[in-house]
Structure 1
Amino acid sequence: MNHHIFPTYRVSIEPKRLKELQKNIWDEKPVPSIMEVDKRPYEIGISYRGDHIRKFRKKSFRIDLGTCSDYFEGREIHLNAEYRDPSIMRSKLSFDFFQTTGTFSPDCKHVLLELNGKSKGIYLQLESVDDLFLQKRKLPNGPIFYATNYHANFSLLNPKSEPKKSLLSGYRRKIGNDKDALDLEMLIYKINTIPRSDFGGEIIKYLDVKKYLLWLCGVICTQNYDGFIHNYSLYRNEETGLYEIIPWDYDATWGRDVHGGMMEHDYVPIEGYNTLTARLLDVKDFRDQYRLLLEEILETSFTAAALEPKITSLHTQLRPYLTLDPYMRNSIPKFDKEPEFILRFIADRNSYLRNHLKDL
């Protein structure tokens, strides 16, 4: 099998239904259509996905397969346009990197998308974080909440420092019931009200601290500025009763921001952001644990030497398909400079973080 050939997903939507889809980009209701992959048709529902990205020329999609499909290993997939990422590989690099550090993250791969016979270009197919995500990883069942906007900051206040209308503001329940929603409200309340002297001993009853700190290492290395207050999922492991955090949407990373502009390698401090992170790092044991975890990652998986083969290989695989992407074909020269840009970021970020380990 030639690994350089990405599968093509051919979606056909009735013209009338396509107009409906295009007319209201915020409509969550999937439009019935057919998707053909390897000459095999699947009946699907298609809708746009994402927050600010819905306004982009190249849209991202959610594909609802209805039932669990062996081919797609799920009942829904997400097709991300990666429109503002000139390398179209930052999300893929991020999720694969998280997996090397021991954090569960969605599986993903690049595919080609056609809509009613027109090429829409290269997309990143992302696994949905749901009950099937848990089963695939032999994880116990449990509720899952998506952090869909900046209100998911683990605080009692929204980003404008006003009291939240609801403690669940910023979250969308993916799996679970009303009791699970109350449980998440309780977590947020506890994060903000446990006295400082008791915090270390109490928070371990609600949160898998080690997993959170590992996730924090990943966000800090890839420098996902938004990743602290949205772009994650919360899962409560029913066996341990503890919350775990799963990364999501990582195109604004490796030295670029949400607009695709350059983000300096020292933009996000080693302590990161959000109320939960601040409270955890205020506990000496957790701070020490974080420093040791980060130190090891900076020596092993987050180095230019470790990541260069992966970056070069992805770049080589994607390169021939850029001409088929109507949104990318004019920026091939920029795409060709991205591997070097990303590798320079890794080297600079790594030394910046090493220099600041002593601050922890």
Structure 2
Amino acid sequence: MKNYLIITLFSFTSLLIAQNTDQSWKLYDDTQVAVISVTMDQVSYNWMISHPQSDSMHRCYVHFKNAHIDKVIENVGIRIRGNTSRDSKKKSFKLSFNTFVQGREFYDVDKMNINGEHNDPSIIRSKICWDFFQKIGMKSSRAAHAALYINNLYHGLCISVEHIDDEFINKNFSDPSGNLWKCLYPADLTWKGSNPDSYKFYSGSRQAYELTTNEKVNDYTQLARLIRIITQTPDNQFPDSLESIFNVDEFLKYEAMNVILGGWDDYWSLMNNYYLYYEPTEKKFHWIPYDYDNSFGVDWFSIDWSKAPPYSFPKVAQGQRPLIERILSVPKYRNLYSHFLKFIREKIFYLENWESKLFNLKNMISPFVVNDNFRTLDYGFTLSDFHNSYTTSYSNQHVKKGIRQFAVERYNYLSDKINFVTAPPMIYKIDFFPKNPRPNDSIYVYASGFSSNEIDKMTIHFHPGMLTVIYFYDMKFSPLISSSKVDEADRWVGVIPPLGSLGYGRFKIEAKDKIGITTVYPLGDFINIKASSGSASNSLLINEFMADNTNFIKDPAGEYDDWVELYNPTQNSITLTGMYLTDKKNNLTKWQFTQTNLKLDPGKHLLVWCDENHNDNQPGIHTNFKLSKSGEFIGLVANDGVTWLDSLTFGPQTSDISFGRTPDGSSTWKLMSPTPGSANIITSIANEFTLAEFKVSAFPNPFNPTTTIQYHLNKISDVSITIYDLLGRVIWSIIKTNQPIGINNITWQGKNEIGKSVNSGLYICKISDGNNQSVIKLLLLK
């Protein structure tokens, strides 16, 4: 059957499909040096500088200005931050927007780390490293340069690095309710016994494994379980056990990048500087990188890091590193690590790929370096040191090589040092879309795999329902050739036909290499999929909500919390017990109504407080998530954890103004005077909301033979891109999953889905993220 595009103009008077407008990307835009001006009491400033080890916050005003923002914010907290750098002359600072104003955020962050980079005469090494991690698609901090002034005194050029905390987790993971550990020296992941409390030990004045979320519960059970699996599992059970709790591919990407960068201030070399996040829904740990000023030839140990062996990376602190040691002893993991080394070396680290960006940044920051007297105080770095540290021949004290010098020498050294051993093929990433299919939706399955012998074939093994019969669906190798993400370069795509109403099944994927060795993934349980019924009749509705309850209504505990109102539009009582509320499209079971026999009578309303106080035994009903006044998603899900009963995506909200259906249960959403727990009333402030699009452009356009389609996302999304001809026929299409916030690119090479070049002419490109869509014309001229 042919696919056709019908383009129609609608008058949306009763439909809400607004963007989730996360604004934090504006803080880390690197097209201009931000200027951060802090004003604080001089006595407090003097005390802070003379007590660098103190974590006490001091009140201040902050004026933040860059290409997108020019705002002053008051009652901000400021303190000195860092570990060894606290005693440096050029200090690093932390800004906190929610210390003195609880719950407040500034462009969707509540903390900012302003790092002085006193070790680095180039004031750019960590910025390059963070950019590299972003390019390979790893969950990591964003970074941008900033000029810092405190009480009109210029404290120098710094790097603003995204703080890793609950806000970071919320932006980057589907389920942000888990435990986040900050792991510092000596966090070697060695076994200290089965008692979880054994891992709460201190090294000096701080914990090696510091729990930074869910601190009141202070549960180290999952961390102890991970370390037990790493250290106590027999060799023949190690891969199955490890993959059941840990994302091995993330760790291997991290180590491959660190080894290439000469980043010794890490787990392998120094048992230091990383985060572990346990995601409850996935039931797995994620590895998050941290701290990169000691890279690109910075050395305190008389080691030439440009010649550090990739399989025996030097340890600057002796002792066991069981995670990397055991992983590299498994042939398939060693090969995957080698594959990542090779990919990052060639696609990311090759100097010509980023040299122009390096010098564009240097030119941009140079005027701010000239007057930075603080950068000279710790090691006597001069302006010549700044300029020369970018070159191909430079050395001064602990900075043993210039950035370009290190990049060239490291690239050349690794040219014949990466090798492979005999091992079966490995599938290291599996995903499918849509996550919650409707009865007639085909399910697209994506798998990324590698074999040193090349993968010849991938096949989906699908078991429908409870049957033992297996359906086999061949997958197609569909790499994104120009992608900087190895997962996309290794990608295979297959399709499972529609499941029908309430249909379900489970699948695994088999990979076969070119010498006939096969393997099946996942190693453990099957991946389960289930379709909805296609209808949500006789259901509850989300009727009204307030995402910025500043001073309107208190919850039973006397707190001004976000809230959602549910409404029963039917003629019968509905039992809520077992249903779910969520603020994540990829986590339908985030919070469940567990109250016994909780019912809502016809025409009645129920108020639910969204305040993360679900474990505090407060009166009323409280979820484990808050709403974002900058825009977010709310979903109501049936007891099966799959069927949507109601959902909406909303944009920025106004303090003490609610957003609701008017009248109750209707399809028209309006800003209104809040009516929590009672019928919605239309007031003069009402505004109807219409379909929102996102920005899309293409360059060059007209083009020959390729064009880059650029789109901006305000939240992590699955995005479909489809090219049509003027007859409405599909010419080329692709679905890109888990696309990050900010600017994303996809290249169309003027070819159809079988790789044949298309004729000159006008084409239509439609981009959709499931809630919003945009259409752009593309003109191919030959």
TM-score, with length taken from structure 1: 0.90
1-structure distance, mates of 2:369, 2:149: 14
Q: Among 146, 149, 158, which residue is 1:123 paired with?
A: 158
* Structure 2 residue 103 is the aligned partner of structure 1 residue 56: no
2-structure distance, mates of 1:310, 1:166: 46
* Structure 2 residue 147 is the aligned partner of structure 1 residue 112: yes
2-structure distance, mates of 1:5, 1:358: 42
| Residues 168 and 185, structure 1, Cα contact 8 Å, conserved in 2 | no
Deviation track 1:77-120 (CA, whole Å, cap 9, x = no partner) reads 11110000111101110010011122111011111111111100
Aligned to 1:139: 174
Aligned to 1:338: 389
Aligned residue identity for 2:86: R
Q: Following TM superposition, by how much is the alpha carbon of 1:57 offset from its aligned partner in structure 2, in angstroms?
A: 0.6
Q: Following TM superposition, by how much is the alpha carbon of 1:125 offset from its aligned partner in structure 2, in angstroms?
A: 0.8
Aligned residue identity for 2:340: L
* Structure 2 residue 68 is the aligned partner of structure 1 residue 28: no
Deviation track 1:227-270 (CA, whole Å, cap 9, x = no partner) reads 112221111122211111111110110111369x9844123644
* Structure 2 residue 52 is the aligned partner of structure 1 residue 17: no
- More deviation, 322-331/337-346: 322-331
1-structure distance, mates of 2:309, 2:53: 31
Q: Structure 1: state its 5+ residue gaps.
A: 158-164
| Residues 256 and 262, structure 1, Cα contact 8 Å, conserved in 2 | no
Inter-CA distance 215–68: structure 2 relative to 1 (3 Å threshold): farther
Aligned to 1:208: 247
Alignment of 1:298-337 (within 5 A): 298-328=345-375, 331-337=382-388
| Residues 256 and 263, structure 1, Cα contact 8 Å, conserved in 2 | no
* Structure 2 residue 359 is the aligned partner of structure 1 residue 285: no
* Structure 2 residue 210 is the aligned partner of structure 1 residue 172: yes
Q: Following TM superposition, by how much is the alpha carbon of 1:283 offset from its aligned partner in structure 2, in angstroms?
A: 0.8
Deviation track 1:58-80 (CA, whole Å, cap 9, x = no partner) reads 11111111144343x30001111
2-structure distance, mates of 1:213, 1:224: 14
- More deviation, 55-64/273-282: 273-282
- More deviation, 101-110/4-13: 4-13
Aligned to 1:267: 308
TM-score, with length taken from structure 2: 0.43
| Residues 232 and 247, structure 1, Cα contact 8 Å, conserved in 2 | yes
Inter-CA distance 342–3: structure 2 relative to 1 (3 Å threshold): closer
Aligned to 2:134: 99
2-structure distance, mates of 1:258, 1:207: 33
Q: Among 266, 271, 276, which residue is 1:234 paired with?
A: 276
- More deviation, 250-259/223-232: 250-259
Aligned to 2:343: 296
2-structure distance, mates of 1:58, 1:264: 26
| Residues 102 and 214, structure 1, Cα contact 8 Å, conserved in 2 | no
2-structure distance, mates of 1:140, 1:121: 38
Inter-CA distance 22–70: structure 2 relative to 1 (3 Å threshold): closer
2-structure distance, mates of 1:316, 1:114: 21
| Residues 199 and 220, structure 2, Cα contact 8 Å, conserved in 1 | no
**Secondary structure, aligned partner of 1:114:** strand
2-structure distance, mates of 1:70, 1:24: 27
1-structure distance, mates of 2:74, 2:253: 38
Inter-CA distance 214–111: structure 2 relative to 1 (3 Å threshold): same
Inter-CA distance 262–278: structure 2 relative to 1 (3 Å threshold): closer
| Residues 145 and 235, structure 1, Cα contact 8 Å, conserved in 2 | yes
* Structure 2 residue 260 is the aligned partner of structure 1 residue 224: no
Q: Which one has more relative contact order, counting CA pairs under 8 Å at least 6 apart? A: 1
Identity of aligned residues (%): 24
| Residues 334 and 420, structure 2, Cα contact 8 Å, conserved in 1 | no
Q: Following TM superposition, by how much is the alpha carbon of 1:187 offset from its aligned partner in structure 2, in angstroms?
A: 1.4
Q: Among 39, 42, 47, which residue is 2:74 paired with?
A: 42
2-structure distance, mates of 1:206, 1:358: 28
**Secondary structure, aligned partner of 2:252:** helix
1-structure distance, mates of 2:309, 2:39: 43
Q: Among 105, 123, 126, which residue is 1:69 paired with?
A: 105
Inter-CA distance 81–93: structure 2 relative to 1 (3 Å threshold): same
Deviation track 1:151-191 (CA, whole Å, cap 9, x = no partner) reads 1121237xxxxxxx932441221113446422112212321
Inter-CA distance 217–3: structure 2 relative to 1 (3 Å threshold): closer
| Residues 255 and 265, structure 1, Cα contact 8 Å, conserved in 2 | yes
1-structure distance, mates of 2:61, 2:306: 44
Q: Following TM superposition, by how much is the alpha carbon of 1:197 offset from its aligned partner in structure 2, in angstroms?
A: 2.7
Aligned to 1:253: 295
Inter-CA distance 3–284: structure 2 relative to 1 (3 Å threshold): closer
1-structure distance, mates of 2:287, 2:164: 11
Aligned residue identity for 1:243: F
2-structure distance, mates of 1:250, 1:219: 9
Q: Among 182, 206, 213, which residue is 2:221 paired with?
A: 182
Bigger Rg, structure 1 or 2: 2
Q: Following TM superposition, by how much is the alpha carbon of 1:134 offset from its aligned partner in structure 2, in angstroms?
A: 2.5
Q: Following TM superposition, by how much is the alpha carbon of 1:48 offset from its aligned partner in structure 2, in angstroms?
A: 1.3
Aligned residue identity for 2:210: R
Inter-CA distance 121–268: structure 2 relative to 1 (3 Å threshold): farther
**Secondary structure, aligned partner of 2:260:** helix
| Residues 115 and 160, structure 2, Cα contact 8 Å, conserved in 1 | yes
2-structure distance, mates of 1:4, 1:206: 39
2-structure distance, mates of 1:68, 1:248: 25
- More deviation, 348-357/269-278: 269-278
Aligned to 2:114: 79
Q: Structure 2: state its 5+ residue gaps.
A: 1-28, 65-69, 202-207, 316-320, 392-401, 422-782
**Secondary structure, aligned partner of 2:147:** strand
Aligned to 1:161: none
2-structure distance, mates of 1:58, 1:156: 38
**Secondary structure, aligned partner of 1:166:** helix
**Secondary structure, aligned partner of 1:77:** strand
- More deviation, 77-86/308-317: 308-317
Aligned residues: 350
2-structure distance, mates of 1:106, 1:139: 17
| Residues 168 and 184, structure 1, Cα contact 8 Å, conserved in 2 | no
| Residues 30 and 145, structure 2, Cα contact 8 Å, conserved in 1 | no
**Secondary structure, aligned partner of 1:226:** coil
**Secondary structure, aligned partner of 1:244:** strand
Aligned residue identity for 2:94: R
2-structure distance, mates of 1:212, 1:315: 31
* Structure 2 residue 188 is the aligned partner of structure 1 residue 153: yes
- More deviation, 297-306/329-338: 329-338
Q: Which has the higher helix share?
A: 1
| Residues 220 and 270, structure 1, Cα contact 8 Å, conserved in 2 | no
